[in-house]
Structure 1
Amino acid sequence: MTGDTDEKIKGDLSDESTANVKALFYGVGAATAIIYGHKFYKRILCRIPTSLDIPKKTYRHRYLYGKVTSVGDGDNFRFYHLPGGYRGGWGWLRKIPEVNKFRELKGQTIHVRLCGVDAPERAHFGNPAQPFGDEALYWLRSYILGKKVYVKPLRMDQYKRTVSKVEVLKWNGYRDVSAEMIKAGFGTVYEAKVGAEFDGKEMIYRHYEKKAKRHRLGIWSIPARRRMTPRQYKNKYS
């Protein structure tokens, strides 16, 4: 009888030990799933509302996907981050905003400054407009407004804008927006000595600028004696 009792006790202890191991296993698994789920959410699905909210580790290492909601000047625009795209629920579970909804989107968009390019200045602060200032704005609006784009943050400028490389999908593949603006003659290669960002594309941009100049496109159609680059304009009126 004693032997049977001992065996029963051993069996109960074995079952209890197995149950504890299973509980520990499931607990560790659940904790791991929560940790990695949180990391996945933070990296892939968590929306970044403004330039000030972009993590430092994102700069130069990661593209952000989203929609251009407004274009206010020839070389900058507002961008609504759509993390995860369609798979992140955008367009069917999460609402994608319409364009030019300034009040509704206050504090919800990233202010992007195109890298490597300077567009002609429009009239502001009592200063006259540069030739092709309005045309550069219209070109950028027609090229990206309402479109889904990829933004690669490079740095923050003094106006709290995110200087970025920007790519948009067109019929002939992904296009570098800065390069296309320079090609069309609606912008020059960024000339400032401090704070210039090209993401390794400076020589390509300069090649496109020479080509646009040779073909007298956009601002390059103005005779040299009457032409000012955006940088020269800023130096004159700043």
Structure 2
Amino acid sequence: MPWPKLWSSSIKVEADSEDSLSTNARETLDSAKQNATETAQTIQRETARAVPSQLAAFTQPETIIAAVVLSATALGFARVYKSYLRRIPQATNIKPGFLGRRSLHGRVTSVGDGDNFRMYHTPGGRLAGWGWLPWRQIPADKKALKDQTIHVRLAGIDAPELAHFGRPSQPYAQEALDWLTAYVLGKRVRTYVYKADQYSRVVGTAYVWKWFWRRDVSLQMLKAGYATVYEAKSGVEFGRATEQRYRRAEWWAKTKRKGMWAGKKGDYESPREYKTRHGVGAPQEGTK
């Protein structure tokens, strides 16, 4: 009786098992691939349906109008801030396009001579919060005001000269300084600026409120007799005022013997004559 061939049967079973496993693996792999393909196709179809519907919300007239209005409003606020609410620290920061077209609102922080002062620019005034909002206060310390004020030369007038660079003071120079200090120091002023001069100042007409009237500082100083109409061959800037009005004010002060016109006739020397005698520059607007 021959011995049974157990090992050949075992080998066959193993081969059949391997074939079965290989077939199952292929079927599983094929099924996975098919599922993955179907899933990808399903995602693509859903995305294709969903994206247009989302984009459609942005193409609605209401959405477009709202976006345009918001953008225009933001640009408008930015332009208003840049043109009207941005503070200008010094005269040298004033752009040429601003001169002759716009005015500056601020508070006078110091008076250096009979016809010029320094102001702290407060754009928008009290309506913009200056003076009552905590973050919109005008500095009181001189160090904090350094390089933060605009130097203004009053247009159209000339006041007696104080002592400068070894030159003696003119009669009534201190009185002119005292008058201007009392009239504008600490006051809110609106200054219409016209041009810059060689001393890093702006030439302008300043107005202050006295009771219910807005007063031209230059005109009032002429009436008080502490300034003369600016004399120059060319380039004199009167701005919003007129030369005739200023000359009438000077004539009235002379007639009433106001201020520096109260002295003896013949003792008077105009600021222009004084500067010419001392060789202070050529006659031009802003010379001081």
Question: What is the TM-score with the length of structure 2 in the denominator?
Answer: 0.74
Identify the structure with the greater helix proportion. Answer: 2
Q: Deviations over 1:106-154 (max 9, x none)?
A: 1111000000110001112111111100000000000000000000001
> Is residue 119–residue 149 contact of structure 2 (8 Å, CA) maintained in 1?
yes
- Once the two structures are TM-superposed, the CA of residue 78 in structure 1 deviates from its matched residue by 0.3
Secondary structure at the counterpart of residue 167 of structure 1: strand
Identity of aligned residues (%): 45
Residue among 226, 233, 238 paired with 1:198? 238
Alignment partner, residue 74 of structure 2:
34
Q: Deviations over 1:172-225 (max 9, x none)?
A: 500000000000000000012233111141100000001111111111122232
Letter in 2 for 1:204: R
Letter in 2 for 1:148: R
> Is residue 69–residue 98 contact of structure 1 (8 Å, CA) maintained in 2?
no
Residue among 223, 228, 239 paired with 1:183? 223
| CA distance in structure 2 between the partners assigned to 1:134 and 1:91 by the alignment | 31
| CA distance in structure 2 between the partners assigned to 1:19 and 1:120 by the alignment | 70
Determine if the alignment matches structure 1 residue 232 to structure 2 residue 273: yes
> Is residue 139–residue 145 contact of structure 2 (8 Å, CA) maintained in 1?
no
Determine if the alignment matches structure 1 residue 139 to structure 2 residue 176: no
Secondary structure at the counterpart of residue 121 of structure 1: coil
- Once the two structures are TM-superposed, the CA of residue 70 in structure 1 deviates from its matched residue by 0.4
> Is residue 100–residue 192 contact of structure 2 (8 Å, CA) maintained in 1?
yes
Task: Give matches, 1:92-103, under 5 Å.
Answer: 92-93=132-133, 94-98=135-139, 101-103=141-143
Greater shift in the superposed pair: 108-117 or 199-208 = 199-208
Gap runs ≥5 in structure 2: 1-47, 280-288
Determine if the alignment matches structure 1 residue 220 to structure 2 residue 233: no
The count of aligned residue pairs is 229
Gap runs ≥5 in structure 1: 1-8
Determine if the alignment matches structure 1 residue 51 to structure 2 residue 56: no
> Which one has a bigger Cα radius of gyration?
2
| CA distance in structure 2 between the partners assigned to 1:237 and 1:97 by the alignment | 39
> Is residue 69–residue 97 contact of structure 1 (8 Å, CA) maintained in 2?
no
Q: Deviations over 1:55-74 (max 9, x none)?
A: 22221222211100000100
| CA distance in structure 2 between the partners assigned to 1:59 and 1:82 by the alignment | 17
Question: What is the TM-score with the length of structure 1 in the denominator?
Answer: 0.89
Alignment partner, residue 77 of structure 1:
117
Secondary structure at the counterpart of residue 180 of structure 1: helix
Higher relative contact order (CA 8 A, sep 6+): 1
Alignment partner, residue 5 of structure 1:
none
- Once the two structures are TM-superposed, the CA of residue 231 in structure 1 deviates from its matched residue by 0.4
Alignment partner, residue 193 of structure 2:
153
